[in-house]
Structure 1
Amino acid sequence: AQRLPRLGLLQPPQPRTAAGGAAAPGGQALPPRHSHTAAAYTRQDPFKAVIYDRTGSLSGYALQRALEERGCVPEMSDERRVVLLFAIGSTVENANHLLWALQHILEQEEKTDAARSTSHPLPEADAISHNSTRNSAEITASQHVSTWNNCKLSRPFTDPVSFHLTPPDRSQMESIPLEQCTRRIAGEMIIPYPPGIPLLYQGEIITSQQAEQLVLLRDAGAKCQGPEDPALGTIRVFKNSGKQVSP
């Protein structure tokens, strides 16, 4: 934390002391099991570290790509965080290489920020306000790009989707640009990972909100399972003579 103050380390909440709470290891007391103050978990896998950029400038996807470019392969990432996994075979050299990679990434980010500020210089007081506003906007945008199925739909469920044991005939489907998929019938599942929950099922009518979310996730660098085109430049849909499904 001292060497990389810009990066945050996600940690489980500390157990709270509450009347009637059960004793926890180390002499602390945990809240009653059914108490609304009870944490979902208080321990974390010691071989995993979940890190994030405190400023919000680097999304989890961007940080993972930057680490991979420097020879470090994280386990996974989402719109905000990166999961680093250590194993019994990890060495001090591995840890030092990771620290070097993170330091190099942040140094490059600081140079980029400095170049932006010098190309458009602002008075010191205004610069502070400008940076604060920029970071707030980026954090808000990052939170909007989510891998969770939290679209603001007009209703909290979609029309029933028929499932069959026999896969549909591929000749009934076609690939189209992702930006043109609204009101078309999905020909494949799209599952962002993490969390591994489908955003789209085969046979589901794609809403404008779903299409927008998929474009945002693609542009942010989210990794999805299921689509024939992993880059999500295109999506497979059922043919319907080029017509869209009526609302």
Structure 2
Amino acid sequence: MTPLFSRLLALAHDNHAAFYAPGHKGSQGVFPGLAQAWGTAVFRADLPELPGLDNLFAPEGVILEAQTLAAETFGADQTWFLVNGSTCGIIAAILATVGEGEKILLPRNVHQSAISGLILSGAMPVFVNPPYDPQWDLSYGLTPESIEQALQIHPDIKTVFVLSPTYQGVCPDLKAITAITQRHNIPLIVDEAHGSHFKFHPNFPPPALELGADLVIQSTHKTLGAMTQASMLHRQGARVDPQKINRALQLVESTSPSYLLLASLDAARAQMATQGETLWSETLTLAQRARQTLTSIPGLKIFDPQPQAGIEYFDPTRLTIDVSGLGLTGYAADEILTETLGVIAELPLGRSLTFILTFGNTNQDIQRLIDAFQTLSENNQAQQPLNKPNISTDQPETCYGLPQLSPRQAFFATSRAVSLEASLNQICAELICPYPPGIPAIMPGEKITVATLASLRQTLQLGGVITGASDPSLKTIRVID
């Protein structure tokens, strides 16, 4: 049953004279090259809020039906379809739970969309550093102990925001974390952008909703069959007012939502409801084959974590490969794989690359991945392994302090550009992110430290890309005047 997708499909084939947007009028006005490349069917289905297609911001018909089915499938009390990605869902969740000057607890490795939520809401972040693994140069999930400690130091925290899973598939102990937030009677928001598939196979980590989270944001397009940008926001329990979510989403979503994206969410949900476990069983078999074979290739190291601080569960469909044993950075290996071997990773980092495996991958894909790394190993076995990262940090493992200014105050403050050297100990006015993964190295309101500058320089030296800086070369940085 696909109420929204089926209605859109029917209207796409309806014969009528169109005097409404979009301007291509159902494909008649499309550039011929587009029609030739993609066909006309997709443009016939690119419809606005016509009678019978419902309204995303006041659903009463097929959108409401589709969202209700999604809530039942994913285990929520209520689900909202999102057409601006998980970004708008994360921002809306923050806006609905914390206001100007109020405190929200977040891991320091949050996605930049959460910082946008802080800027728009005016909330004051209490950042907690998750456990860091220097061997892999990766941060894990927040520990329950660090959250409990933060709530003791800042008993006026209004909301807790956690990331689960990380890009590498690491999930914290959400069961223990939800027990803490429920005891304090404050909402728990979970950025589950990379975990929309957890519900559909017993070998995956338990989904955040099952473990008691109040709000969960999922990028349905990342691991399920929806189109890019198509995501979902789920709510359960009574700690968050759904009307606040409604109002917040109207601020951050387009008033002209794409019905192609909305219909793809309806279809992706139906696919999981009817075939999910079968499809993911096949994917898990492919992932296991890739993991076993790649482990035997000289110079490679495969990420396979065991439960420890910050790691309660691990998603086996995430494949992270350390290539430093071949004398390569993740960025350099990514360039070779992409340009000469026809294999493209999701995320290159300084020492590793992460690959997302889904039911869209085939045996041929896995063989191509294996062959590519075999070639990479054979061509680089003579190289000296890379040294481990050697960036000192002036932050303890956990940190419960507040920034000098709230991100909103810093964002709107007068700023000036200074050299990197002169920026030391100044308050940053920019949101500067190595991308991917889009985790801020420094954000508005934070003091610029030696460790921050060293990290940014190393990212550039290793071939990474820095986004958000007004000076893309990063010779200068904007600070609060």
TM-score between the two structures when normalised by the length of structure 1 = 0.57
Kept in 2, the 8 Å contact 1:182–1:207? The answer is yes
Change (3 A) 1:227 1:45: farther
Provide the rounded CA distance (Å) in 2 between the counterparts of 1:64 and 1:74: 7
Q: Secondary structure at the match of 1:102?
A: helix
Gap regions ≥5 residues in structure 2? 1-292
Runs of 4 or more above 6 Å deviation: none
1:189 maps to: 431
C-alpha separation between the residues in 2 aligned to 1:238 and 1:54? 35
Tell me the CA shift for residue 100 of structure 1: 3.1
Q: 1:1-247 residue pairs with structure 2 within 5 A?
A: 1=293, 4-13=297-306, 40-41=311-312, 43-46=314-317, 48-53=318-323, 55=325, 57-70=327-340, 71-110=342-381, 113=383, 135=385, 138-140=386-388, 143-144=389-390, 151-152=393-394, 160-164=404-408, 167-168=411-412, 172-174=415-417, 178=420, 181-192=423-434, 197-229=439-471, 232-238=473-479
CA-CA distance at 1:208 after TM superposition:
3.1
Taking structure 2 as the reference length, the TM-score comes to 0.32
1:164 alignment partner, SS class: helix
Do the aligned partners of 2:299 and 2:326 also contact (CA within 8 Å) in 1? no
Q: How far apart are the structure 1 equivalents of 2:422 and 2:375? A: 39
TM-superposition CA deviations, 1:46-90 (whole Å, max 9, x none): 3x2111136262233332233222332211133332111122222
Q: Write the distance in 2 (CA, Å) between the matches of 1:221 and 1:80.
A: 11
AA in 2 matched with 1:161 = L
CA contact (8 A) 1:151 1:213 kept: no
Q: CA RMSD in A?
A: 3.8
- The one-character-per-residue Cα deviations of 1:173-200 (angstroms, maximum 9, x if unpaired) are 33x5545533444221223457754331
Q: 1:65 to 1:208 in 2, by over 3 A?
A: same
Does structure 2 conserve the Cα–Cα contact (< 8 Å) formed by 1:11 and 1:44?
no
User: Any gaps of 5 or more consecutive residues in structure 1?
Assistant: 16-36, 114-133, 241-247
Per the TM alignment, residue 153 of structure 1 is displaced from its structure 2 partner at its CA by 5.3
Letter in 1 for 2:300: L
SS in 2 for 1:211: helix
- Secondary structure of the residue aligned to 2:373 is helix
Structure 1 pair 182–103 and aligned structure 2 pair: CA distance change class (3 A): same
Given that residues 56 and 139 in structure 1 are in contact (C-alpha distance below 8 angstroms), is that contact kept between their aligned partners in structure 2? no
Count how many residue pairs are aligned between Structure 1 and Structure 2: 185
Residue aligning to 1:20: none
CA contact (8 A) 1:186 1:202 kept: yes
CA contact (8 A) 2:326 2:377 kept: no
